[in-house]
Structure 1
Amino acid sequence: MIEIKKKDDNMGFVFFRDEKGPYSENLRPEKSDKKGPNTREEARPPVEASRARKSLLSSKSLYNFQSKGMIPLAGLCRGNSSSFSDYISQTNDDWGVDIEDEEEFLQPFKTKTELSELSVYDRISGAFEAPFDLNEEKKELGFGLPKNKEITDIHNFLSLEEQSSLLEKRVERFSQILEETSIDLNTLRKYAWNGIPDQFRPIVWKLLMGYLPCNVSRREAALSRKRNEYLESVSQTYEKGIKELDQAIWHQIHIDVLRTNPTIKLYQYETTQKCLEKILYVWVIRHPASGYVQGINDLVTPFFQVFLSEYIDGDPEIYDPSNLPKDTLDIIEADTFWCISKLLDSIQDNYIFAQPGIHRQIINLKELITRIDHQLSNHLEEEGVEYIQFSFRWMNCMLMREMSVKNTIRMWDTYMAEGQSGFSDFHVYVCAAFLVKWSSQLLKMEFQEIIIFLQSLPTQHWTYKDIEILLSEAFLWKSIFSGAKAHLR
């Protein structure tokens, strides 16, 4: 019998109902009057809050959080801080595994103040041997990195005219690479890291995921074989109808698909939903060790959307796939299945029993924040915030609950270009850069505000440029810390 690992919608944010009722005073742990070396004496200069944040942190929002009677498991009382494994042992989720203590972490490589005094070139120099010409890639990112300027300095960005010229050159280079009879994957990764032009993304993703052969002469036969294999699996699985399927698995997949990307029209069409259901169910029966885990339904959507774009004109997010011929729809469905299978194989530890891969990522994220932003790390600890409360979902869903699908697709260009570790190790650096981005706001918040804010971050209007800055900062941290002892083992 295949096991279903059911998570709640908050992806690992575990609640229990306090016996005292929904208005329990235990919701917010009491602050200690005791001050130590890590006690925050004064907050950073005030930064004007966005409308989204003002709304999130309104008294009404906090009232709703309390009135539901759901009390965060961690941070209920002050006192001696418990270890991560102690925290896990208190949950009633699939986290009851022993986690060995990590090696003692080294002193911070550089303090945040020291890092800010260094140019980007100085920070990277000698810390990480990039797999490509770093200076050339910086120019192609769409923004330069002159010395003594912050990575987010708006003056680093190229003009619109320069960006247009750059895009034309990139399109030409991708065309040249893909016209070769045998694709050089290292060269392809070099250019894919900074984003793939829309018209080339379907074929480039298939190549980078290892689904499409690099040799042109082998492609037609390989694609035909794989697509037929998937369609045959679907035919055998559904031969006796839906009623003969494992109803527990089928029901969970069905309800998850119905609520996938509810604001995007593409995913509300019945044809799309049926395709996703078949992809997920066939994957589950072929991977009984993992079973179905909520969140996998999110990871399917970037592949489906990208491969759909190959056969239509216009925005795939508003397209009804029922307008396509059945043969074309079968191709999109099969290609999506094999690529999501490749992705999940590369992070299989995230979805087997107890999900040890996510355990490691959360531990690594916490250690990385200690080195990058020690003040934020101390503040989260003082407020009783456990990383699992907000970062489990970041790891389980690859930040898809925090980003739009289009921005996720742009992120995945870089993840695939990073190679096998893109969706595991590099993703942790992205999460670190993502958390540190909100540091100034978080330092002024208390426990309840932090939890609510991190679960509803104001990223609705983010653009590709925001994603590129985030990825560049993640690359910087990887360049500095990837070789550090006991880090990201």
Structure 2
Amino acid sequence: MSIYRARVKEFEDALKEDEIQLKYLHELCFNGIPDGYSFRSLCWKILLGYLGHKRLTWEETLSRKRSLYRQFIEDLVIPPGIAATNGENGCLNDHPLSEGPESAWNTFFNDNEFLLQIDKDVRRLCPDISFFQQPTEFPCDIVANSKGERRLHQRVVPSILSSANVERKGLGVTKINLITKRSFESYSAMEEGQEAHWEIVQRILFLYAKLNPGQGYVQGMNEIVGPIYYVMASDPDIETRKHAEADSFFCFTALMSEIRDFFIKTLDDTEGGIKFVMTKLSNMVKQKDPEVFERLRHQELHPQYYSFRWLTLLLSQEFPLPDVVRIWDSVFSDEHRFDFLIRICCAMILIQRDLILENDFASNVKLLQNYPPIDINIVLSHAVSLK
């Protein structure tokens, strides 16, 4: 406990400075942020660039960004007919059957196409814990009437969808079933006046897709925003929890600006693309353990069969949520950011070297696509040793 208290004191001292010493904060966070305090939500906001290093700017930044997010909901979530009744221009004469490019109703129905995929994905977010199915303390109050127009799920599906009926096929370049997790829980929408946490994540993803039409929504983004929102909405400080939705949106947007190339197929072969990153991982394995590299190469067990998901989703599907949060402490605070992610992935492979050398192709595919339970500190320590 004395070591834990010393760590807490280090964070308290670092975060109360008028100007945060970013290099020192990165070093502290790299070794893990203490649970039970508001350190992680604040540190992630700083590490992801949502907040600057000067404390005096925080209040103004948060106020401005939270107000902007509220405007996004009013402008982009509420259907055209509702906006018209609220006195906004341009909607009263727009017919729901109009197919014109400037028709708000046409946009509304087109939005529902990708909203359907978002709805399916967020309803099966982290099925091993109940958090995302629980009601938030702070449901959206922007359109507080009996119709609940801000609640996006009502556009596309019935109020209950059993996640047992949905099986993820993974992302991208391989048809191999990359994940077999299922949950027999039903992700139910809350009664009017309440919202489940997954409903809030749905709204964040919808707004992100609307504001980034060149990219839109890509399956798997729900796994990126989920841990961010979990950290913000689980913070001990009530004011932080109250604004978890807006803060998560901007932190998610900042993170996506760094990894968005992973989600754009036409950029796969560029320096920031996923194929380039997978090649870096493969080369690291070759350098650190040639025998393991040759075994995987001989079996034609290509990196895309397992590391595509590892890298694209920042390992959010390979470990329990608390471990993912711990991993992201280090990933976000690494000066070269995703170089350390590659080292973690390399460590995951090398830790299993004995099994990899012994197994046949099918067993190794199963091993790497369904990584066995392990103390995450062992993985991180091994990753650090690879530097």
With normalisation by structure 2, the TM-score equals: 0.72
- Amino acid across the alignment from 1:165: S
Alpha-carbon distance, 1:303 to partner = 1.1
What per-residue deviation string (whole Å, max 9, x for no partner) do you get for residues 153-183 of structure 1?
xxxxxxxxxxx21111111111111111111
The answer to whether structure 1 residue 396 and structure 2 residue 308 are counterparts is: no
User: Does the 8 A contact of 2:48 with 2:251 survive in 1?
Assistant: yes
User: Does the 8 A contact of 1:193 with 1:417 survive in 2?
Assistant: yes
1:226 alignment partner, one of 52, 65, 68: 65
- Amino acid across the alignment from 2:122: V
Pairing of 1:244-393 with structure 2 (within 5 A): 244=108, 246-269=111-134, 270=189, 271-311=196-236, 331-356=243-268, 357-393=273-309
Q: Which residue of 2 aligns with 1:112?
A: none
Q: Please list every run of 5 or more consecutive structure 2 residues that lacks an aligned counterpart in the other structure.
A: 83-104, 135-188, 190-195
Alpha-carbon distance, 1:192 to partner = 1.1
Alpha-carbon distance, 1:235 to partner = 1.4
Take 1:397 and 1:208, find their aligned partners in 2: how far apart are those partners?
Answer: 18
- Of structures 1 and 2, the larger Rg is shown by 1
User: Does the 8 A contact of 2:121 with 2:219 survive in 1?
Assistant: yes
The answer to whether structure 1 residue 210 and structure 2 residue 49 are counterparts is: yes
Pairing of 1:39-438 with structure 2 (within 5 A): 164-198=1-35, 199=37, 200-240=39-79, 244=108, 246-269=111-134, 270=189, 271-311=196-236, 331-356=243-268, 357-419=273-335, 421-422=336-337, 424-438=338-352
Q: Helix, strand or coil for the counterpart of 1:347?
A: helix
Take 2:346 and 2:325, find their aligned partners in 1: how far apart are those partners?
Answer: 19
Q: Helix, strand or coil for the counterpart of 1:443?
A: helix
User: Does the 8 A contact of 1:289 with 1:352 survive in 2?
Assistant: no
Take 1:239 and 1:276, find their aligned partners in 2: how far apart are those partners?
Answer: 16
Q: Which residue of 1 aligns with 2:166?
A: none
What per-residue deviation string (whole Å, max 9, x for no partner) do you get for residues 99-119 of structure 1?
xxxxxxxxxxxxxxxxxxxxx
Alpha-carbon distance, 1:338 to partner = 0.5
Alpha-carbon distance, 1:355 to partner = 4.5
Alpha-carbon distance, 1:251 to partner = 0.5
Take 1:250 and 1:291, find their aligned partners in 2: how far apart are those partners?
Answer: 10
User: Does the 8 A contact of 2:292 with 2:357 survive in 1?
Assistant: yes
1:442 alignment partner, one of 348, 356, 366: 356
Take 1:305 and 1:256, find their aligned partners in 2: how far apart are those partners?
Answer: 16
Alpha-carbon distance, 1:328 to partner = 6.8
Q: Which residue of 2 aligns with 1:454?
A: 368
Alpha-carbon distance, 1:302 to partner = 1.3
Q: Which residue of 1 aligns with 2:384?
A: 475
Q: Please list every run of 5 or more consecutive structure 1 residues that lacks an aligned counterpart in the other structure.
A: 1-163, 313-323, 479-489
Alpha-carbon distance, 1:476 to partner = 2.5
Take 1:219 and 1:203, find their aligned partners in 2: how far apart are those partners?
Answer: 10
Alpha-carbon distance, 1:341 to partner = 0.7
User: Does the 8 A contact of 1:231 with 1:330 survive in 2?
Assistant: no
User: Does the 8 A contact of 2:232 with 2:240 survive in 1?
Assistant: no
Alpha-carbon distance, 1:193 to partner = 1.0
Question: RMSD in angstroms over aligned alpha carbons?
Answer: 1.9
Take 1:371 and 1:307, find their aligned partners in 2: how far apart are those partners?
Answer: 39
- Amino acid across the alignment from 1:258: R
Take 1:448 and 1:216, find their aligned partners in 2: how far apart are those partners?
Answer: 53
- Amino acid across the alignment from 2:55: V
User: Does the 8 A contact of 1:390 with 1:454 survive in 2?
Assistant: yes
Q: Helix, strand or coil for the counterpart of 1:197?
A: coil
Take 2:42 and 2:317, find their aligned partners in 1: how far apart are those partners?
Answer: 26
Q: Which residue of 2 aligns with 1:154?
A: none
Alpha-carbon distance, 1:468 to partner = 2.7
Alpha-carbon distance, 1:298 to partner = 0.5
What per-residue deviation string (whole Å, max 9, x for no partner) do you get for residues 70-123 of structure 1?
xxxxxxxxxxxxxxxxxxxxxxxxxxxxxxxxxxxxxxxxxxxxxxxxxxxxxx
Q: Helix, strand or coil for the counterpart of 1:288?
A: coil
Larger RCO of the pair (alpha carbons < 8 Å, separation 6+): 1
Q: Helix, strand or coil for the counterpart of 2:198?
A: helix
Alpha-carbon distance, 1:425 to partner = 2.1
Alpha-carbon distance, 1:311 to partner = 4.1
Q: 1:254 to 1:196 in 2, by over 3 A?
A: same
With normalisation by structure 1, the TM-score equals: 0.58
- Amino acid across the alignment from 1:204: C
Q: 1:213 to 1:470 in 2, by over 3 A?
A: same
